[in-house]
A and B are shown apart, each in its own frame.
Chain A
Amino acid sequence: MMQSVTYRKMKNHLMSGLMLACTLAVLVPLGLIFFHILKMGVSSLSLDFFTHVPAPTGEPGGGMANGMVGSAIMIAGASLIGLPVGILGAIYLSEFGGSKVSTLIRFAADVLSGTPSIITGMVAYTLLVVPMKGFSGLAGSVALAMIMIPIVLRTTEEQLKMVPGSLREASLALGVPFWRTSLKVTLRSALSGVLTGVLLAVARIAGETAPLLFTALGNQFWSKNVMQPMAALPLQIFSFAIAPYEDWHRLAWGGALVLVTVMFALSLTARYFGRTRQAG
């Protein structure tokens, strides 16, 4: 039976309204969080904030420069370990895979990416902190790399699988060896997608706090030696936010603002690369 036009239009409006409400339900909290952090944090941002280490208790001023540098060093270290493993592993899975080993690797990667990050921190603690008899930035990097690897591995594999087989064949038919084809044709064609995955993985580990708690530990002072305990932005936010000093709370808000901004920028860049891929 035909429904009247008015009835169908009404139903259409109702459903559209519901979907709009759902979208808002997601966006509003995000907006609230962002604006609250902006409001609380923007006053703490100053040149000192980016150039100084935290001031001793009771003294005004100070910044989070050591935390930002520490985070940067550990993220770089994690990328140095995680990117080659993740990307080469993905090439194996997509270009050479198909065997039982690949299924096992995929399963392991999925389990690893679902592992709570505090567990990852405990693993790094057991593997590195205990034998080396001390907390270190290196242990922090390794813990972060363990979070990074499955993300990079699976996104890169998906991207490589999307490269049409005809391109591989074109290259092989020109007498290019398979390994060169994999690197220079297949990986090259998937590059923007791979880059998107890498940036998202970096954004993800930039905000990780739990795995650093008992690996990098944190540091009140300048710490550029990866064999020593190292400061990190999320760790500083954590310890400052629960401290009973008003000054430290302000620093924590500033740190949160910086962290959110960095992650926002990374996600936007990732989206940009994702878009250029579709256009090209």
Chain B
Amino acid sequence: MNNKVQLEQVNIHFGKTHAVRDISMTFPEHSVTAIIGPSGCGKSTLLRSINRMHDLVPSARVTGKILVDDGDIYDRGVDPVAIRRRVGMVFQKPNPFPAMSIYDNVIAGYKLNGRLPREEADEIVESCLKRVALWDEVKDRLKSNAMMLSGGQQQRLCIARTIAVKPEVILMDEPASALDPISTLKIEELIEELKERYTIIIVTHNMQQAARVSDYTAFLYMGDLVECGETKKIFTTPEQKQTEDYITGRFG
């Protein structure tokens, strides 16, 4: 299997804080890789570096190489906007645009960047909402405000909005941690389906979730990559004592 995303000696600093230390790892195409670890271990920080979200934080400094399809996204002359179109992101708290309808939220990536012909828009809205299994729940009220939806529905709407712009990689930052168990289950089923088309990298501090949805798992601790490999192996026969302690709930 191809490696879609590859990290080479990635270090991330915020001012004087060294948040991510010298991490090298790969994310195979059309698979789900989970990044786990205790709070503050740098997993979200690492995730956000993969679509250059740190560019907005003046004190943040990313060094090393992050390759998407063999191209370093931190190379001079690479447009972060173009990178973010290829590497989409779903956030911890559902964040639909509050001033927009359900319909407009799905095509927000197009509307905010210009115009979109009506027929094309209709088609994108229907297919994306169907893929996140939200279509049947909202097809009669596409024009109502997105904030009317429940938290779980909002999060699936955000995923629909992300896949609408046809990314190659989807980053998910604890996408179900603000949701109830049923909604969480729906999101997990969705992730399973989405990996056929996309490469998914998910940060979670729910280890059962990592075990359920991911093919590969990386364990981070205090900014260091302790261990990474196939999820089955990490959860059954980890090589590092630290990984085992964390997974069995002895700390973290």
Q: Does B32 contact A (CB under 8 A)?
A: no
The main secondary structure of chain A at its interface with chain B is helix
| Contact between chains at B112 and A180 (CB < 8 Å) | yes
Q: Mark B58-91, 1 if CB is under 8 A from A, else 0.
A: 1000000000000000000000011011001101
| Contact between chains at A173 and B51 (CB < 8 Å) | yes
Q: Mark B197-212, 1 if CB is under 8 A from A, else 0.
A: 0000000000000000
| Contact between chains at B108 and A174 (CB < 8 Å) | yes
Q: Does A167 contact B (CB under 8 A)?
A: yes
Give A175 Cβ to nearest chain B Cβ, in Å. Answer: 3
Which residues of chain A are near B165, meaning CB under 8 Å? 174-175
Which residues of chain B are near A175, meaning CB under 8 Å? 81-82, 84-85, 88, 109, 113, 165
| Contact between chains at A176 and B56 (CB < 8 Å) | no
A185 and B162 alpha carbons, distance in the complex (Å): 16
Which residues of chain A are near B12, meaning CB under 8 Å? none
> Number of contact residues on B: which range applies?
20 to 34
A178 and B112 alpha carbons, distance in the complex (Å): 11
Give A105 Cβ to nearest chain B Cβ, in Å. Answer: 18
Q: Does B13 contact A (CB under 8 A)?
A: no
Give B246 Cβ to nearest chain A Cβ, in Å. Answer: 29
Q: Does B95 contact A (CB under 8 A)?
A: yes
Q: Does B41 contact A (CB under 8 A)?
A: no
Among candidates A164, A166, A168, A189, residue contacting B99 with C-beta atoms closer than 8 Å: A189
Which residues of chain B are near A172, meaning CB under 8 Å? 53, 56, 84
| Contact between chains at B99 and A173 (CB < 8 Å) | no
| Contact between chains at B95 and A174 (CB < 8 Å) | no
Given A167-B95, A180-B113, the answer on whether A174 and B161 have CB atoms closer than 8 Å is: yes
Chain A positions 158-175 with a Cβ under 8 Å from a chain B Cβ: 164, 166-175
Given A167-B95, A172-B56, the answer on whether A181 and B112 have CB atoms closer than 8 Å is: yes
Chain B positions 37-67 with a Cβ under 8 Å from a chain A Cβ: 51, 53, 56, 58
Which residues of chain B are near A168, meaning CB under 8 Å? 56
Given A172-B84, A185-B112, the answer on whether A98 and B91 have CB atoms closer than 8 Å is: no
Question: Could you give 30 example pairs across A and B, Cβ below 8 Å?
Answer: A166-B93, A167-B98, A169-B53, A169-B89, A169-B95, A170-B95, A170-B97, A170-B108, A170-B158, A170-B161, A171-B97, A172-B56, A172-B84, A173-B53, A173-B88, A173-B91, A174-B88, A174-B161, A174-B165, A175-B81, A175-B82, A175-B84, A175-B85, A175-B88, A175-B109, A175-B165, A177-B81, A178-B56, A185-B97, A189-B99
Using a CB–CB distance below 8 Å, which chain B residues touch chain A? 51, 53, 56, 58, 81-82, 84-85, 88-89, 91, 93, 95-99, 108-109, 112-113, 158, 161-162, 165
